[in-house]
Amino acid sequence: MLYLVGLGLADEKDITVKGLEIVKKAERVYLEAYTAILLVEKEQLEAYYGRSVEIADREMVESSSDTILADADKVDVAFLVVGDPFGATTHTDLILRARELGIPTQAVPNASIMTGIGCTGLQLYNFGQTISMVFFTDNWRPSSWYEKIVENANIGLHTLVLLDIKVKEPNLEMLARGKIRYEPPRYMTVAQCAQQMIEIEEEKGLGVCAKDALAVGVARVGAQDQNIVAGTLEQLAEADLGRPLHSLVLIGKNTHDLERDYLRAFAVDQKVFDEAWAKNHGSQ
């Protein structure tokens, strides 16, 4: 059997009992480590699970999946995924490859940022399409996500923004010389995301993510040092939420009083928050 085991959001103890039992009995254990990260090192997982864990980077999962699936029709293989296997990042491709080889599969769900974002007090059924924000470069500033925010805004829904991570990314200059050298890991912050949203708003001009748009940034959801900061995008562009991982929610107009009251406690400046809320959502 190939098991896709969700690990939850924070540390080694977020795994479910069912997931832990699978990990302990599996012949091989892989940790997917390029779409998200846990807040602890691999060695801490290994100590808690009592098992060695092999890192499965993008290259292995996308190009060498045969290594992961080898003999999985005869022995149990556990593929560990931060969050939920079918949450913000799906692994249906690995499941489909297993099916082609006649390998049985089973997924073990867990919390993901898609549900963990409820820590902000925003009601999950008031969320629209989720978008991803990548690092801008000097000559690449993708903005296809903007249209999705417009669609969400038109029906008053919140937008969850998942922020870019760069893990084991090859240095393009060295690659052009025929050498492989990897860049240091990079993780987008709430401040970087807010600034990029403001920049694209200045180009598009539809008003959905202007400087005074209300948003909430989160960091390390589910951890002891979880951090939540609410304010305008301009305020969040100056906010420091600490170490990764970060996410951001652009707040829609279809809101409930309870959402406002819950968020207000995390405001950078409660007076500014109240004024922005009244402007964007009505005085309520």
Cβ(117)–Cβ(222) under 8 Å?
A: no
Residue 43 has φ and ψ, to the nearest 5°, of -60, -30
Conformational region of residue 180, where left means phi above 0, alpha means psi within -120 to 50, and beta covers everything else: beta
Q: 265: exposed, middle or buried (C-beta count within 10 Å: 0-12, 13-18, 19+)?
A: exposed
190 belongs to an annotated ligand binding site = no
Q: Is 112 annotated as a binding residue?
A: yes
Residue 9 assigned to a binding site: yes
175 belongs to an annotated ligand binding site: no
- Is position 5 annotated in a ligand binding site? no
Beta bridge partners of 131: 161
Phi then psi dihedrals of residue 27, to 5 deg:
-70, -40
Is position 225 annotated in a ligand binding site? no
The count of other CB atoms within 10 Å of the CB of residue 133 is 20
Residues contributing to the annotated binding site for S-adenosyl-L-methionine: 9, 84, 87, 112-113, 163, 221, 246
Residues contributing to the annotated binding site: 9, 84, 87, 112-113, 163, 221, 246
